[in-house]
Structure 1
Amino acid sequence: MRPTRRFLLVATCAFLAACGNAPARDRALTVPAAAPTPTQPTLGGAWQPPAGLTQVPLWPGTPPDAVTTRLLETTSTATNPRRFAGRPVTGVYDVSIPTMTVFPAKTRPTGSAVVVFPGGGFQQLAIDLEGSEACDWLTAKGVTCVLVKYRVPGSNHFYDAACNCHRTPAHLTALQDAQRAIRLVRARAAALHIDPRKIGVLGFSAGGYLVAQTSNILAPAYTPVDATDGVSSRPDFAMALYPGHICRAGGAFDPGLRVTDQAPPTFIAQAWDDPVDPICNSLLYARALDLAGVPAEVHLFAKGGHAFGHRRAAGNVGTWTMLADAWLAQIGML
């Protein structure tokens, strides 16, 4: 059974609202009374990559710990004139067949590759805002980009509206998909013309949590299925943009995330006024990395909200990609 149109309308509107509207205390100052409202979503089938690119399944058969569902993967695209530079945002829902799509370097290849995890609260995926647009930035720098469409919903620590609480599922299938994607990229390094020692990860929001998990949880989160699972899933460098799920109730650090000196050099960026994922997520993770002796470059912007991605040209937060470029060059990845 496919999701109802009403369900996707509500889900998309919630996504547009969550991804960066001003907090209530600032709304009177930042949103005029007659401000235009978001458009009605355009619904579609399973997400497809840009023309000329192919997405391939992460698993040779049924993914581990697969959940039986009759829901088919769908997309929903809408525009919020007040956010995201007034351009459409596409969300992907009910992903049961996880994939990866390789975006080849557009300029002279550096030998580096970045595996990208979009955000969406482990309920949906912001596949363009925090996925393909990141690949456009990276490939223009000579970096091969691999966009991961991991399983959602409920595939990692998530907010459950039914109980007004957060839940952690028995099987972290999003982490399984993330680890598998890194292993596949490393196993196929020769075919992809990349250096297996220069494979990084980039994640936004919930995807930033996957960055922290893959950086520190190196044992397989699933029973190995083939020879690829004997390859290391540790990234060589990591970038977490406005990460979530690390800072738990009362400001406690995620008890399931043990940061060690095996974590790679890490770049973190977030805005202090993020209304979705509190700044404590970046602060706690940066502190944990420091205590473990792992170098981290941290940029905290006064303004920027949530889900600024690559569309926030105004203000200092729009400089994060330039700062990341300099950091990538400093660690020898550009």
Structure 2
Amino acid sequence: MSASLKLLLATFFLLLNCDSLMGDDQHQEISLWPEGAVPDEPDNIEQRKKPTTVDSVGKMRIAYVDRPTLTVYKAPKQKANGTGVIICPGGGYNILAWTHEGVEIAQWLNSIGVSAFILKYRVPRRDPDQPHALPLQDAQRAIRIVRSNAKEWNVDPKRIGLLGFSAGGHLTVMSGSHYEKKTYSRIDERDDFDARPDFLIPIYPAYLGDKVKKDKLSDLVVINKKTPPTFIAITHDDGDRAYYSALLYAALKKNNVVGEIHIYSKGGHGYGLRKSNNPVHTWPDRCRDWLNSMGYLDKKSK
């Protein structure tokens, strides 16, 4: 075989292999709503449009979303256990911390066999009094879409949870509180699926407290015996968020809902998976342990 033919064949097989790898690594982004069917959008929202930014260390912040999407990160076939998690990045309902509270979290979940779906929900705030209202529509629709595509995406429709940070943690709790609420009119057959998450993972959740009665949870936080099992991680030095996270856990306990909370001494807010000298950087290990104890890391039976 001539050297040129060997080179040609080597190049062919390399490209073939690259295409195969790309097929595994490509992350499908799908629209939540049909064209023109995004519910309750104000007419003048485009006037508030701002650009997406990337900082010096590569962290992307999305400042405007009027077409919500899900980005699919399927777990590797050899690791996939059938559990799926919808990720809600934080950002005060004004931006989405896309990289460190979205993409990096999806990659971590994939590493433990969990398929991930990053929710690009609507920002900035449409309603200053209830900034979660339209994102909750997006979250409910996302849960239903994942359930409706469970077979295609190799997830168990009874093992679909939400994981969110800060405002995304609040959206996670809202999704577990109001899954029975009809937040939008039926669009298509996917809306016939249940919007109840099977478990919740709010990480340094924000906005859980009552604005007037500072010693209680907001009335929007509805905890009862049907609330999904919940894992919470927070730090003591994260302002009043630690206090309200503790109240959230107490409400879970009062209603006999399976829950786990980790309150670390130091770490502040917005750290994602960032390594530090503080024990809070181990929260993903504790979360993995909890998921394992709940049976969510066991491979689903065929």
Interval containing the TM-score (normalised by the shorter chain): 0.7 to 0.9
Q: Give the alignment partner of residue 32 of structure 2, picking from 26, 40, 58.
A: 58
Counterparts of residues 251-262 of structure 1 (less than 5 Å)? 251-262=215-226
Residue of structure 1 equivalent to 2:146: 185
Matched, 1:74 2:51: yes
| Largest Rg, 1 or 2 | 2
Distance 1:64 1:321 in 2: 35
Q: Distance in 2 between matches of 1:112 and 1:327?
A: 13
Given that residues 223 and 251 in structure 2 are in contact (C-alpha distance below 8 angstroms), is that contact kept between their aligned partners in structure 1? yes
Structure 1 residue aligned with 2:207, among 245, 257, 280? 245
TM-score (norm 1): 0.76
Deviation string, structure 1 residues 157-177 (Cα, Å, up to 9, x no partner): x5xxxxxxxx225x8100000
The Cα shift of 1:73 comes to 5.8
Structure 1 residue 220 corresponds to structure 2 residue 208: no
What is the aligned counterpart of 1:120 among 91, 97, 115? 91
Query: Percent of aligned positions with the same letter in both sequences?
Result: 36
- Segments of structure 2 that go 5 or more residues without pairing to the other structure are 1-24, 298-302
**C-alpha RMSD of the superposition:** 1.8
Q: Deviations over 1:279-334 (max 9, x none)?
A: 12211211121122111100000001001100134220011011111101000111
> In the alignment, is residue 105 of structure 1 matched against residue 81 of structure 2?
no
Q: Using the TM superposition, give the Cα deviation of residue 155 of structure 1 relative to its aligned residue in structure 2, in angstroms.
A: 4.4
Superposed structure 1 runs of 4+ greater than 3 Å apart: none
Distance across 2 between alignment mates of 1:102 and 1:205? 22
Q: Secondary structure at the match of 1:70?
A: helix
Per-residue CA distance 1:66-87 (angstroms, 9 max, x = gap): 12233446311224xxxxxxx3
Structure 1 residues 30-69: aligned runs within 5 Å: 52-61=26-35, 62-68=37-43, 69=45
Q: Give the letter for the 2:138 counterpart.
A: D
Aligned to 2:283: 320
SS at structure 2 position matched to 1:151: coil
204-213 or 62-71: bigger deviation: 62-71
Provide the secondary structure at the position in 1 that maps to 2:289.
Answer: helix
Task: State the AA in 1 paired with 2:34.
Answer: P
**Does the residue aligned with 1:59 lie in a helix, a strand or coil?**
coil
Equivalent residue for 2:195? 233
Choose the corresponding residue for 1:152, options 118, 123, 147: 123
1:138 matched to 2:74? no
SS of 1:100's partner is strand
Equivalent position to 1:175, from 129, 132, 136: 136
